[in-house]
Amino acid sequence: MSFSLHIQRFETDTLFYRQSHVLRYLGYGEGQADSTVLSQLQSAYAELCRYAEPRAVYSRLPLSCPEADTLLIGSLEWHSRDLCRCLSDCREVLVLAATLGAGVDRLIARTSVLSPATAVITDALASDIIECVCDRLCQTFSEDGMRLRPRYSPGYGDLPLSVQGELLSLLSAPTRIGLSVNHASMMTPTKSVSAIVGILPS
């Protein structure tokens, strides 16, 4: 069986965020943001783009679900009724991981010393940007004609966060895109997403 990893880098001028989502992370309701915070959002975004090095690695792999709560992907064996349900009818999956890179974590650490307000805004922005990077990636697969199920990440439903390490290791994410997990299954750099996406038969 052959298995190939695909690595994608994203130009920083293609990064975008959803203003309404970022404002929600920051606690604002509809129409409550003033011009000050909006302009801070703009300048924090410009700064983030200087530090971000967005990369993704993904692979298309066959899936089998021998039991209602068991799935096999490559050499991985996971137990999750919720994910099995989400992947019902799928015989293949995309396994993917994406990160904004170490520079963004450094920027946030640095900004925390200089201005906590800016740090909070930068942190919220970065969280949304990495989601958008993943959405964009999945969208390109859809445009290539794949019919996809929604992204599903470790920690959702009954899929434990602890499988995160296996997922990243399958993708060689530590060497390919510099993304790894620590002993508590947290991804480092922190502004990162890992996920399984079911591919529906065409």
CA dist 89 and 168 (Å) reads 25
- Residue 64 touching another protein (CB under 8 A): no
Q: How many residues bind another protein (CB under 8 A)?
A: 65
Candidate segments 10-18, 85-93, 141-149, 159-167, binder of another protein by CB under 8 A: 159-167
Do 126 and 48 form a contact (C-beta atoms < 8 A)? yes
Candidate segments 80-88, 130-138, 145-153, 169-177, binder of another protein by CB under 8 A: 169-177
Which of 4, 160, 6, 23 is closest to 79 using CA atoms?
160
Radius of gyration of the chain (CA): 18
Which of 60, 94, 123 is closest to 194 using CA atoms?
94
Q: How far is the CB of 77 from another protein (least distance, A)?
A: 10
CA dist 65 and 42 (Å) reads 46
- Residue 68 touching another protein (CB under 8 A): no
- Residue 117 touching another protein (CB under 8 A): yes
Which of 121, 77, 129 is closest to 101 using CA atoms?
129
Q: How far is the CB of 4 from another protein (least distance, A)?
A: 4
Amino acid at site 97: A
Which of 136, 166, 171, 173 is closest to 151 using CA atoms?
136
- Residue 201 touching another protein (CB under 8 A): no
Q: How far is the CB of 67 from another protein (least distance, A)?
A: 19
Tokens of 126: 């970065």
- Residue 121 touching another protein (CB under 8 A): yes
Residue 77: phi, psi to the nearest 5? -130, 115
Among 11, 30, 36, 202, binds another protein (CB under 8 A): 36
- Residue 29 touching another protein (CB under 8 A): yes
- Residue 101 touching another protein (CB under 8 A): yes
Q: Which helix (H) or strand (E) holds 104?
A: helix 102-114
- Residue 128 touching another protein (CB under 8 A): no
Binding site for another protein (CB under 8 A): 1-7, 9, 26-29, 32-37, 40, 53, 59-61, 73-76, 101-103, 105-106, 108-110, 112-117, 119-121, 123, 155, 161-162, 166, 169-170, 174-175, 177-178, 180-186, 188-190
